[in-house]
Chain A
Amino acid sequence: MKCPPFSYHRATDVADAVAALGAADGEGKILAGGQSLVPLLALRLARPAVLVDVNRVPGLDGLVVRDGVLHAGALVRHLHLAGQDHHPLAAEAARWIGHTAIRSRGTLAGSLAHADPSAELPAVLRACDGAVHVAGPGGTRRLGADELFVGALQSSLAETEMITGVELPVPDAWGFAEFARRHGDFAIVSVAAARFGDRLRVVVGGVAGVPHLVDPGDLATCDGGLSADRVAILAAAAADDVDPPSDLHGSAGYRRALTEQMTARALTQLAGHRTPEAA
């Protein structure tokens, strides 16, 4: 478990990082918090020729709310996200990530770029219909959550692109529930629920290659009140809507049952959790 040889470039700014990725001819990889990449290197499952370290790039660790949207820099650490109160859903989800040591290093953009369908923040990005800002050799572009995630550990980012910032609209009400074998593990199933006005978005992690946006049909609108019956109907609809795989930690049927339970928990929480007006 020692990584294969690579060269190392410490980027001074975004342009430098993008240039270094371009020079690597598709063999470059961004090193941010390293919480997923370094184990993959140690297992020799990732073999980049160049590691582009963006940790010293200035200006990527800010958090600010404008017009009901949290704008977060790519290097915002999970611990920072967990401690802010502008976006309570993102804060709650970040608290479920790993352990303190992991949260103090891991970054928001790193988690999104890694695109693990069991991870918390990709589910939150999709539940909030957020977007990422991307810099590449051709300039910058904005990618919506629905376009970013392509499959398990696959995003639509080009090998020469890096995420520079994240937009997370702040929901009017929210809920988050997760079931994992141990505290800090990747979820077997997680659910992020967000309400914007009368629009309800429920995203299930751990049941597909990407965070799964539940299509609840006519139930997608929500006038603010969520009765227990309504929660149960929505939870059952979510369970019907997923087609999860089976693996060591649970069968498809078990994941479907957990989807119903976690959706119910998240929506029950949502019914009682409103984002403070101060945001």
Chain B
Amino acid sequence: MTGDHRPASGTPVRRKEDARLLTGRGRYVSDLALPRMRHVAFVRSPLAHGRITGIDTDGALAVDGVTAVFTGEHPALASVALRALSALPGYVETDQPPLARDKVRFAGEAVAAVVADDRYLAEDGAEAVVVDYEPLTPTVCAWDAGITDPVHDEAPDNLLLSRTFTAGDVDDALAGAHVVVDRDLTTNRHGGNPIECRAGVARYEAADRRLTFWSGTQVPHLVRTQLAELLDLPEGNIRVIAPDVGGGFGVKAVLYPEDVALCLMAMATPGIPLKWVEDRVEHLLAATHARDHRYVLRAGFAADGELLAVRADVWCNVGAYSVYPWTAGIEPLMAGGLLTGPYKLAHYACTVRGVTTNTSPSGPYRGVARPATVFAMEALLDSGARALDMDPIALRRRNLILPADVPYRMPSRLVDDSGAYEACLDRAVAMFDLAGWRAEQGRRRKVGGRPLGIGVGIYNELTGLGRAASAGPRMPFRTGHDACTVRINPDGAVTVFSGVTSQGQGLETTMAQVVADALGVDYDAVDVRIGDTDSSLWGFGAFSSRQAVIGGGAAHLAGADVRAKALALAGALCEVDVSDLDLRAGQVHVRGQEKPVIALAEVAEVAYLRSDRLPEGFEPGLESTKFYDPIRGAFAAGVQIAALEFDPATGEIGILDWVCVEDAGRIVHPVIVAGQVAGSIAQGIGGAMYEHLVYDEDGNLSTGTLLDYLMPTAGEIPELRIGHVCTEGANPTHVRGVGEGGTLAPNAVVAGALLDALGVEVDDLPVTPARVWELVSP
């Protein structure tokens, strides 16, 4: 070690997880093999809506290698239901059974589970289960369907939630507007589709009533709490382990009925671990979907472009069940709360509805609702700019929340602390060479060539929600805090037990950087343990772009606290005033002196092994655990601007340039941040141009494999040019979240570019070549 300590944060240190992840030595649930382990396959409903009139499991039990078949009526499962709770007025609580009871509510719902010696045999058994159904009329669309058979008896109108956000006087403001524009938009249902689908292994030891659940989850502590309640076990008897997880994107922030069924079945077969690894067909059918929304919008502008009022009616198709534990409110409440985005607005009336249908449940997916709301808001501004004959970027500038406006109380009463939108826009416009692309657009219009359009999306990402900001859905828990334990080992090296989780986004690295700097040790001296509820105290996990802000804050506070303890002990050992001491690269120095007075390793040795040298008043050990809660959140600004070309003859869409500028606050790891931004833009482009889960009118999924559900590959994603501005967040590491922002703009950018190139407004997504051709063909 050198005495010359350079901060780990802000530099692209080598990722701690890469040695195993890049050499095929990752430890995924899918890789887990335990003695006596058996495999589970679920029997899934082929019907969108129907009453179960009988289940015959004899044929399955006759298959060689099948050891058990469970149904919803099995005593181990019959009394359990997942019930997403919220105290919001008007929210209708409904039950979701671990395996369907009485009736099925979407095609793909698990009806029975077959346990066998391997997955092949389990699938053979699943084929042999005979289920009789009495069909009921399915509801597929959330906004234009008459209801024959309600999805849940508790909600005869299929409405699980409705809420109206109001500010000012919209009627009055619209009456005084210079122009009024209307849009009626729908967005395309799609989902997260991580490379590793859902996976779990559950093992129950009857002797001491302990359950271990290895799960590819983003939220192990939450899962533990929920399982304790659902399985009626003391929480301390449950250990949830999320080892390496192959992508999550929100899909794995849900506790699924399959997870609960797996654990209940494991409790019914003590000592025999049960494994379920979801395949892609199951994932597309039955993992949570998202973004199936309609927005009916009206906006009024003053002659100078000032946005005066927005009225919105929003329908979110929440699918067959209120997603556990987030509730059917997750998308509608986000849609109503964030619709107005980075724009100042005084007059706002927005009614959002969560409508249950006979489709797979909707849940959290990277960006939750905002890819749709940014599309909606930017569509209004693009329509407004045309009506006013104003430049679309100038119109946006006219309305942005500026640094002088923050903290800005949005019409939904959320408080925006960013104000960096114009700075992001200025930088994006400069990087993009707007003038150059406008000239090229003009050249093509004059001399021919594929029409070229420029699209813009400006957004705010609500990241790192503290207790005040996460109170919105009024669930029986507040996700504002995480804990972190920093332990200096007897040899002076550092082990961190953090409540964060990682699905590939490098949290071990980021937490190690934060702790190394807070503590004053080398990055290489820090080892981070995550994902095991038996080792870290608490973390809500990965969602809402929260972990760098909240988990990072806790890591910083715990690291700084251990540093203070170590320095106090060093001071007492060396008889130096602690205020004169500094800890750099694992060495304790008297400030201003080159030569260290004592190594951290020696301090640690005393703390653990040499109580004979321990000064009076010091306890053995060197460790600290801290919680952090930012109370509010850290809004993160972002702008994307791109040039696209369109072939009117084929509808082919070409992306010529794509620039994104985001405010990540102080950047901990530049390459990880760039990766988050690039990956989320790629998912956004997927949603804007490719990904669409399509149900037919009977509620059958038409896009059941990756042959028909198209995800963008590296070949479809352009070279992305990413820039940053930095306004430091008000949290211990001065960061802002970056996990989701990239997904928010591509819908708006692609639709805006199409309008700019060919003068056609697209009202429904995705923007495919066939859609472009239809819009421009006579």
Interface residues of A (CB under 8 A from B): 1-5, 39, 43-44, 179, 181-186, 248-251, 253-254, 257-258, 261
Partner of B650, one of A1, A179, A253: A179
What A residues does B705 contact at CB under 8 A?
A: 39, 43
What B residues does A257 contact at CB under 8 A?
649-650, 773, 777
Q: How far is the CB of A122 from chain B (nearest CB, A)?
A: 18
A3 to B769, CA, bound (A): 35
Q: Of B127, B650, B690, which one neighbours A258 at CB under 8 angstroms?
A: B650
Q: A182 and B708: CB pair below 8 A?
A: no
Closest to B694 in A: A248
Q: Does B710 contact A (CB under 8 A)?
A: yes
Say whether A254 contacts B715, CB under 8 Å.
no
Given A179-B650, A181-B690, A181-B768, A1 and B281 contact (CB-CB distance below 8 Å): yes
| B713 at interface, CB cutoff 8 A | yes
B710 and chain A: residue at smallest CB distance: A181
The answer on a CB contact under 8 Å between B694 and A182 is: no
13 new A-B contacts, CB < 8 A, other than A181-B710, A181-B769, are A1-B281, A2-B123, A5-B120, A43-B281, A179-B650, A179-B769, A185-B710, A248-B702, A249-B770, A250-B770, A257-B649, A258-B650, A261-B649
Q: Are A1 and B651 in contact (CB under 8 A)?
A: no
25 A-B Cβ contacts within 8 A? A2-B120, A3-B120, A4-B124, A4-B127, A5-B120, A43-B705, A44-B123, A179-B652, A181-B710, A181-B768, A181-B769, A182-B690, A182-B712, A182-B715, A184-B713, A184-B715, A248-B703, A249-B708, A249-B770, A251-B770, A251-B774, A254-B770, A254-B773, A254-B774, A261-B650
CA A5 – CA B118 in complex, angstroms?
A: 13
How far, in angstroms, from A251 to B281 measured CA to CA in the complex? Answer: 26
Name the distance in Å between B760's Cβ and chain A's nearest Cβ: 16
Task: Indicate if B119 sits at the interface (CB-CB under 8 A).
Answer: yes
B154 near A: Cβ within 8 Å?
no
Min CB distance A103 to B, Å, is 15
Closest to A258 in B: B650
Contacts of B690 in A (CB 8 A): 181-182
Are B716 and A183 within 8 A (Cβ)? yes
In the bound complex, residues from chain A placing their C-beta under 8 Å from that of B773 are: 254, 257
Of B124, B713, B770, which one neighbours A182 at CB under 8 angstroms?
A: B713
Given the known A-B contacts A257-B649, A257-B773, A258-B650, are A2 and B119 also in contact in the complex, defined by CB atoms under 8 Å?
yes
The residue of chain A having its C-beta at the shortest distance from the C-beta of B650 within the complex is A261
Is B132 part of the contact surface with A, judged by Cβ < 8 Å? no
**Residue on A with the closest CB to B39?**
A2
Q: Is B279 an interface residue (CB 8 A)?
A: yes
Q: Which residue of B lies closest to A262 (CB)?
A: B650
In chain B, positions 258-292 with a C-beta closer than 8 Å to chain A are 279-281
Give chain A residues whose Cβ lies under 8 Å from the Cβ of B652: 179
Cα-based distance from A254 to B770 in the complex (angstroms): 6
Main secondary structure of the interface of B (DSSP, over half): loop
Please measure, in the bound complex, the distance between the C-alpha atom of A44 and the C-alpha atom of B716, giving whole angstroms.
31
Q: How far is the CA of A248 from the CA of B702 in the complex (A)?
A: 8
* B279 close to A1 (CB less than 8 A): yes
Contacts of B651 in A (CB 8 A): 254
If over half of A's interface residues share one DSSP class (helix, strand or loop), that class is named, otherwise mixed; here it is loop
Contact with A along B428-443 (1 / 0, CB 8 A): 0000000000000000
- Taking residues whose C-beta sits less than 8 angstroms from the other chain, chain B's interface range is 20 to 34
Q: Which A residue sits closest to B120, measured CB to CB?
A: A2
- With both beta carbons as reference points, the residue of chain B lying nearest to A255 in the complex is identified as B770
Smallest Cβ-Cβ distance to A260: which chain B residue? B649
Instruction: Report yes or no: A183 in contact with B279, Cβ–Cβ below 8 A.
Output: no
Complex alpha-carbon distance, A274 and B649, angstroms: 27
B239 CB → nearest A CB, Å: 30
Q: Using a CB-CB cutoff of 8 Å, which residues 125-144 of chain B contact chain A? A: 127
Docked CA distance A183–B717 (Å): 11
Q: How far is the CA of A154 from the CA of B487 in the complex (A)?
A: 67
Which chain B positions have C-beta within 8 A of A185?
710
Quick one: given A248-B708, A257-B649, A257-B777, are A1 and B280 in contact (CB under 8 Å)? yes
A179: B residues at CB distance < 8 A:
650, 652, 769
In the bound complex, residues from chain B placing their C-beta under 8 Å from that of A3 are: 120
The answer to whether B715 and A183 have CB atoms under 8 Å apart is yes
Measured CA separation A68–B432 after assembly (Å): 53
Q: Is the CB of A182 within 8 A of B716?
A: yes
Please, which residues of chain A bring their CB within 8 A of the CB of B774?
251, 254
- Which one of B649, B708, B713, B769 lies within 8 Å of A183 (CB-CB)? B713
List residues 701-739 of chain B with CB under 8 A from any CB of chain A.
702-703, 705, 707-708, 710, 712-713, 715-716
A-contact 0/1 string along B736-778, CB 8 Å cutoff: 0000000000000000000000000000000011100110010
A-chain residues with CB within 8 Å of residue B702 when the two chains form the complex? 248
CA distance A257 to B774 in the complex (A): 10
Contact with A along B621-650 (1 / 0, CB 8 A): 000000000000000000000000000011
Q: How far is the CB of A269 from chain B (nearest CB, A)?
A: 16
**Which A residues are in CB contact (< 8 Å) with B280?**
1
Q: B281 and A44: CB pair below 8 A? A: no
Q: How far is the CB of B87 from chain A (nearest CB, A)?
A: 41
A81 smallest CB distance to B (angstroms) = 21
Shortest CB-to-CB span from B599 to chain A, Å, is 52
Chain A residues with CB under 8 A of B713: 182-184
For B652, give the chain A residue with the smallest CB separation: A179
Q: In the bound complex, how far is the Cα of B652 from the Cα of A257, in angstroms?
A: 12
Q: Which chain B residues lie closer than 8 Å to A2 at the CB level? A: 119-120, 123
Shortest C-beta distance, B678 to chain A (Å), equals 18
CB distance from A234 to the nearest CB of B (A): 16
CA distance A3 to B690 in the complex (A): 29
Query: In the complex, which of the residues B119, B124, B649, B703 contacts A5, with contact meaning CB atoms closer than 8 Å?
Result: B124
Q: How far is the CA of A5 from the CA of B650 in the complex (A)?
A: 45
One digit per residue, 1 when the CB lies within 8 angstroms of any chain A CB and 0 when it does not, for chain B 103-118 equals 0000000000000000
Q: Which 8 residue pairs of A and B lie closest in terms of their CB atoms, listed nearest first?
A: A1-B279, A183-B715, A250-B770, A2-B120, A254-B770, A2-B123, A261-B649, A261-B650
For residue B119, which residue of chain A has the nearest CB? A2
A101 CB → nearest B CB, Å: 13
Once bound together, how far apart are the Cα atoms of A244 and B688, in whole Å? 27
Cβ of A253 to closest chain B Cβ, rounded Å = 8
Q: Which residues of B contact A44 (CB under 8 A)?
A: 123, 127
Distance between Cα atoms of A249 and B766 in the complex (Å): 12
A182 close to B123 (CB less than 8 A): no
Cα(A249)–Cα(B710), bound, Å:
10
Interface-centre pick from B119, B652, B770, B773 (highest chain A CB count, 10 A): B770
A124 to chain B, nearest CB (A): 22
Interface centre among B120, B712, B715, B769 (most CB of A within 10 A): B769
How many Å lie between the Cα of A251 and that of B774 in the bound state? 9
Q: Which residues of B contact A254 (CB under 8 A)?
A: 651, 770, 773-774
Cβ of B18 to closest chain A Cβ, rounded Å: 24
